[in-house]
Structure 1
Amino acid sequence: MQIGQDEHRAALGVDIGGTKIAAGVVDAGGRIVRRAEVPTPRGADAIDRATADLCLSLAATHPVEAVGIAVAGLVSSDRETVMFAPNIHYRNHPIAARVRALLDDAMPVVVENDANAAGWAEFAHGGHGASDMLMLTIGTGVGGAIVADGRLLRGGCGAGAEVGHLQIVAEGEECGCGQRGCFEAYASGTALERHGVRAVEDRAPGAERLTELAHADGGLRGRHIAQAAAEGDAFALGLLDDLGEWIGRGAASLVAVVDPDVIVIGGGVASTGAPLFAGIERGLRRHLTGADHRPFPRIVPATFGNEAGILGAADLARAAVLTPA
C-alpha cells in the first residue's frame, strides 16, 4: 500500500454501515477524488478484510498517508477499538490493529464514531462559518456531534455526544436501547414512521393518503410520509412538523449545555425540508431557556449527504498524523 508524501496530503476515509462499506480517497481540500463501495459482509473478520481490500484497491492508484474508519458505535478514547456497534456486532473489537495488519505496513489507522466523522466534515468543509457547532443526524435513530471552540468533543472514554439517548420524557416511549423516554424515541425517522403507522391503523381523520400509500406498498414507511408531504398532504406535513418540534425540544437541552453558533441537521429525514425545519425552530424557541434574550443559533441543513462519513473520517485521520496525541 502506497503511503503518500506529496503536498496534497490525501487520506482514505471508510464508512462502515449496516448494509454497505463505502470508502474514498480525500484530498486536503475535502474533495473525494476516487470512491468505491461493497456490501457489508457478515462477521467481524469479514468486515475487517473487506475494509482492508477497499483501502488497498483505492490506494493502489492514489497514495495516501492515513486511513480513517467511521463506525456507528462507541469508540475508545485511543481511537483504536470499537467498544460497541450493534449494527455490525462489534464488541471491544480492535479494528484499527486488525486493518493495519491486513494492510501489511505502518499505515496509520484511526477509528471514529460515524456521527462525529460526519459532524467534523460539516465543521471543516461545510461552509457554516462557526467555531461552536452542534450536529444532529436524524435517521433510524438520532446521532450527534459537538464541536466546541474548533475541537471535536469525544468525552473521557470516547463516547461523548451520544445525544440520541438523552432522556427527554420521564418513563416515556421505549427506545431500542432498552431505556424509556430517549430523544431518538421521539425525534427519529423511526418515531415518524411509528406515528404514521398508528394513524393508519387507527384510521385517523385526514390520514387517507397515507393509508393509500401503505396499502399500495405492503405497509407504511417513512418514505411514504415524505412523499405525501411533498404532495402537500396536510396530515403528513403535520407529522413532519411534530417531529421537528420534538427535535427542537431535545436540541434545547443540548444548546443549554454547549451553546453552539449553529445547529446542523443531517440524515435522511432532513431532506424533507421546510416543514421539518419550521417545527425544529419552534420547538427550540419554546423549550430553550431565555430564547428571546440570547443569541439564537442558526438551524441549517447539512451540506454533505452520504459522503460526510468518508470526508470526516479521512480528515480526522489526516489530522491525527499531523498532530499525533
Structure 2
Amino acid sequence: MPDGPLAIGVDIGGTKVAAGVVDASGSVLHRTRRDTPHRSTSPRVVEDTIVSAVEELLGHGDEVVAVGIGAAGFVAADRATVVFAPHLSWRNEPLRASLGERLALPIFVDNDANAGIWAEHRFGAGRGESHLVMVNLGTGIGGGIVIDGRVLRGRFGIAGEFGHMQVVPDGIRCECGNRGCWEQYASGNALVREARSLMSAGSPVVSDLFERVGGDPGELTGPLVTEAARDGDPLARELLGEIGRWLGVGIANLAAALDPGTFVIGGGVSAAGDLLLEPARVAFRRQLTGRGYRPEASIVAAQLGNEAGLVGAADLARVGAADLAWAEAADRADRAEHADG
C-alpha cells in the first residue's frame, strides 16, 4: 500500500522531462519521461509534453492530490509563473494557470533546485537538518536553501543562484555577463575547460585523457574526467581537487551569510565523491569566518540523485495541497460562523 496521499512530480530539464507518482515517504511508484522540446519551441508545446506525461501517470488509476512542477529557471515567489527558463521559451509564463486549465488538479510550480533540496531535506542527506543549503554542481552551479523546515525562495523567488556570486574580481567572463562568478571555477564546465586547455597546449600530463577521447579535446566531458580520477589518473585528480578547493571557498562564503548546519552537494560533478569533497572540506575550514571559534557545518554528498527533482516537486505539491485544503476549510468555517451570527 502507498504511504499517505499521492502526488505527481515533474522535473523539467534541458534535455528531458521526468515525471513520477510519489507517495508521502518519497517512494516513486510509477515513472515516465519525455524529451524536452527544443528551446525554440512555443510554450504550448512544452505544456503539451507535461500534460502528456501527467495523463499517462494518471492512467495507472492512483488517487493523486496535486501536481508539482520543478523547472530549471527563475520561478516567481507566487509559485505560479516561470519568469525565465534558459532552455525553454518561457518568459513570464503563467504556467500554473495554463496547466490548471488542462489538468483538474492543484498545480504548484517551483525552481528545480528548490525541489531538489526539499527532497534531500525530507528523504535524503539533509533529513532532520533544520538549516540546510544545497549546492548543485553541473554545467553551472545552482542551489537551494531550507531554513526552519521551509524553502527560502526570496522576495522575488530567485534565491539560490549561488553560481553567480563573484569570487574573483575581474576574473573569467561568465555567461551571465559578469566576471569572476563562482561557477567559472567550481563546476562541470570549469573542470572540462581546464582539462581541454592543457590538452590544447599539448601538455604530456594529459596523455590519459587524450587516450580516453581518441585525441579529440572536443569529446571530453566531466564524467570522463571523473572516471579517469577514479582510475587513479594524477592530472584528473588534481583538476578535481582544484574544483573542490573553489567549492570550499564558495561554501565558506555561504556559511558566513546563512550559517546552515549542513551543506548537501549534488549535481553531476558530485559523483566524484571524496575526490571532490575532501579538498572542499579543507578549503572550507581554511576560509570559514571565525574558524576555530564556531561550529562547522558538515559537507555531505546528496543521496537521491536524478530523482530528487521529481520527488521534491511532488512532495512540495502535496504539502501545498494540504495547506490549500486547510485554508479552504478555515474559510468555510469562518463564513459559517458569521452566517450563524
TM over 0.5, yes or no?
yes
Aligned match of 1:116? 114
In the alignment, what sits opposite 2:295? Answer: 295
5 Å matches for 1:3-14? 8-14=4-10
**What SS does the aligned partner of 1:155 have?**
coil
Change (3 A) 1:31 1:7: closer
5 Å matches for 1:99-114? Answer: 99-103=99-103, 105=104, 107-114=105-112
Instruction: Please give the secondary structure, in 2, of the residue aligned with 1:296.
Output: coil
* TM-score, length-scaled by structure 1: 0.94
Q: Percent identity?
A: 45
Q: How does 1:163-312 map to 2 (within 5 A)?
A: 163-216=162-215, 219-312=219-312
Partner of 1:156: 155
The equivalent of 2:339 in structure 1 is none
The superposition leaves residues 176-232 of structure 1 with CA deviations (integer Å, 9 ceiling, x where unpaired) of: 111111111111100100000001111234222122223356532222211211110
CA distance in 2, matches of 1:69, 1:291: 40
- Between the aligned partners of 1:292 and 1:76, the Cα distance in structure 2 is 39
- Cα deviation, 1:136-159, whole Å, max 9, x if unaligned, reads 010001011111111110000111
- SS in structure 2 at match of 1:110: strand
Aligned-pair CA distance for 1:285:
1.2
Give, in angstroms, the shift of residue 47 of structure 1. Answer: 0.8
In 2, are the aligned partners of 1:266 and 1:302 still within 8 Å (CA)? yes
- How far does residue 8 in structure 1 lie from its aligned partner after superposition? 2.2
Alignment of 1:131-150 (within 5 A): 131-150=130-149
Contact (CA 8 Å) 1:214, 1:221: kept in 2 or not?
no
Partners of 2:74 and 2:306 lie apart in 1 by 20
Amino acid at match of 1:12: I
Comparing 165-174 and 122-131, the one that deviates more: 122-131
AA paired with 1:317?
Answer: A
Count of residue pairs the alignment pairs up:
318
Match among 17, 28, 31 for residue 27 of structure 2: 31
CA distance in 1, matches of 2:133, 2:87: 24
Q: Which runs of 5+ in 2 are unaligned?
A: 328-341
- Using structure 2 for the length normalisation, give the TM-score: 0.90
Query: Equivalents in 1 of 2:3, 2:20: separation in Å?
Result: 18
> Distance in 1 between the 2:27 and 2:223 partners?
30
Contact 1:117–1:316, Cα closer than 8 Å, also in 2 = yes
Corresponding residue SS for 1:88: coil
Counterpart Cα distance in 1 of 2:150 and 2:130? 8
In 2, Cα distance between equivalents of 1:285 and 1:7:
41
2:123 corresponding residue in structure 1: 125
Query: How has the CA–CA distance of structure 1 residues 208 and 294 changed in structure 2, closer, same or farther, with 3 Å as cutoff?
Result: same
On the 8 A contact 1:49/1:99 being kept in 2, the answer is: no
Distance 2:114 2:291 in 1: 27
- Determine which structure has more spread, i.e. the larger CA radius of gyration: 2
Deviations 1:95-124 (A, max 9, x none): 111111122x2x110101001100000001
Aligned to 1:315: 315
Amino acid at match of 2:74: L
What runs of 5+ residues in structure 1 fail to find an aligned partner? 1-5
Q: For residue 28 of structure 2, what is the amino acid of its counterpart?
A: I
- Paired letter, 2:258: V
Give the direction of change, closer, same or farther, for the CA distance of 1:203–1:68 in structure 2 (3 Å limit): same
Query: Do the aligned partners of 1:23 and 1:37 also contact (CA within 8 Å) in 2?
Result: yes
Q: Which amino acid aligns with 2:33?
A: E
Q: CA deviation at 1:7?
A: 7.6
CA distance in 2, matches of 1:275, 1:292: 25
Residue 18 of structure 2 is aligned with which of 16, 22, 33?
22
Is the Cα–Cα contact under 8 Å of residues 74 and 82 in structure 1 kept in the other structure?
yes
Q: Is the 8 A contact 1:19 1:40 kept in 2?
A: yes
